[in-house]
Amino acid sequence: MPIHLPDIDTLSLVEQVSQMLVVRTCGMLYDHQIQYPQWELTSKQLQTLIGEYGVGGVILLGGSAAEIALKTQQMQSWAKVPLLMAADIEEGVGHRFSGATWFPPPMALQDVGIDYAEAMGRVTAEEALAIGLNWVLAPIVDINNNPQNPVINVRSFGITVGEVMGATRGFIAGAKQYPVLTTAKHFPGHGDTAVDSHLQTPTLTHDRSRFENLEFLPFSNAIAAGVDTIMSAHIFAPHLDPQNIATLSPHILTEILRDQLGFEGIITTDALIMSGVANLNSPEAIAVQAVKAGADILLMPVDPIATIHAVCAAVESGEISRDRIKQSLQRIWQAKQKVCGIPTDLTQLGKPENLAIAKEIATKSISVYSAIPHLQSGDTANPKANYLNLIIVDDPLTCGEFLNSRSPAVLFPKNSGYQRIITDGQTIEHLQLKQFTDVFIQMFSRGNPFRGNTNLHAKTQTLANALLASEKLEAMVVYGSPYALDPFLQILPANIPWGFAYSQQPEAQAAVLQKLGFG
């Protein structure tokens, strides 16, 4: 339905600048459920920023899809100008909000065909709209050409420019069937970093020619496909700008992205609370510099109110022109006319056909070599043998979404007589496994923000070598990153069965384990 937006010139300077901010809140309904109080605003704080200042949008994380529908309606009711409602739903709405469709990581499409990218974009947009989200912070169009990348990793569509470009076109085409905004990230390219910009500032030393012939191409491709927004990366590329990181660089955001690549949509920063940018200066100075660089939206500023006043002060002093603010608002207004005012509709969630697509990708993108001999022979509970199901995770406190007592990775081996141990990078070196005759390793590991390097892969490889030497390693499965699997394929002898799944979800677990002989 059409919405009414006020004339930009009728807004005060504070209201104009506030429209350039997107702040974060918890998707759960009540303040006592807030999970990240350093970043997520309370209801009172939100009401002040939305109702009094007029911030332009909100990014949500956590909670169920049904809760999000209620919360987006509530926040829209506080707003004088309709809000952009955003979420990092790179793997479908269910990636962040329970009850909706959760897809395997984008890189899984390389094993099942990029034709699925269109369905992934379509289902994501449909379900986002159903719960009041109108801004999809996807797709990632970074080329993950660095196997050591801790944060992009399987979130990328692939390791070559062709893979990424093909899937990007499909995803955007699918999402464009619904009135939502899409986002290509992270410009000028975050795929060849070995550092997580949530934790520190990565440096890319490539020359301009390398960027033009590789990293820029998926962004030009996304622009041609009609992407609505492009997100900056908090990376330092000295051959593009020897002084500023990309988020704070007029040369990168305005001269290259806006003028040379011809992008006319919204440029948004990545989250300004990330250490890759937040450690460089005060929140106020960073916000002013990002606007001067060409950012239209300041995403998750450390201090929203201080940010608003700092940018207003820069305008009043002449450091930033009023026309510059107005240009950003015109882009934001155009986007809001496209996507705001659509009612929520929870009947669009949980459609069997959407869930079936996600399951199809998850089960088709697995790889299994051989089967476990004693399971094939029917010897599933030999009292003379002491079988162990050793589950290795990145962090035992964050794996509840895919690992619990009912998960196939736990239940199937238990039903076959296996004992269970769960370990991580902090405890794996202290395991005592002498009492076990056969050890089945299941490793859950993938690239994720804020995780850093726990040396989990190296420690697991050391353990696997020891188990091979003592002839105790029975089989191995990796769920998540193919880069985590590669070192083990180099050491596993031909008689050791192994499996791999991009998805860590129950459907993928069951598919792999059944092929290994569990059931």
Q: Which residue has the tokens 């009094």?
A: 52
C-alpha dihedral, 454 to 412 to 353 to 178, nearest 10°: -10
Element (H, E) at 169: helix 161-175
Residues in contact with 226: Cβ distance below 8 Å, sequence separation at least 6, in sequence order: 172, 176, 182
Q: What values do phi and psi take at 240, rounded to 5?
A: -95, -40
| Full DSSP string of 307-346 | HHHHHHHHHHTTSS-HHHHHHHHHHHHHHHHHHTTPPP-G
Which residues are marked as active site? 198, 270
Residues in contact with 434: Cβ distance below 8 Å, sequence separation at least 6, in sequence order: none
Beta strands at 498-501 and 367-369: parallel, antiparallel or unpaired: antiparallel
Q: Distances in Å between the alpha carbon of 291 and those of 57, 236, 246, 249, 324?
A: 17, 18, 12, 10, 8
What radius of gyration, in Å, describes the C-alpha atoms of the chain? 24
Residues in contact with 519: Cβ distance below 8 Å, sequence separation at least 6, in sequence order: 412, 513
459: which 2 tokens?
A: 């420690």
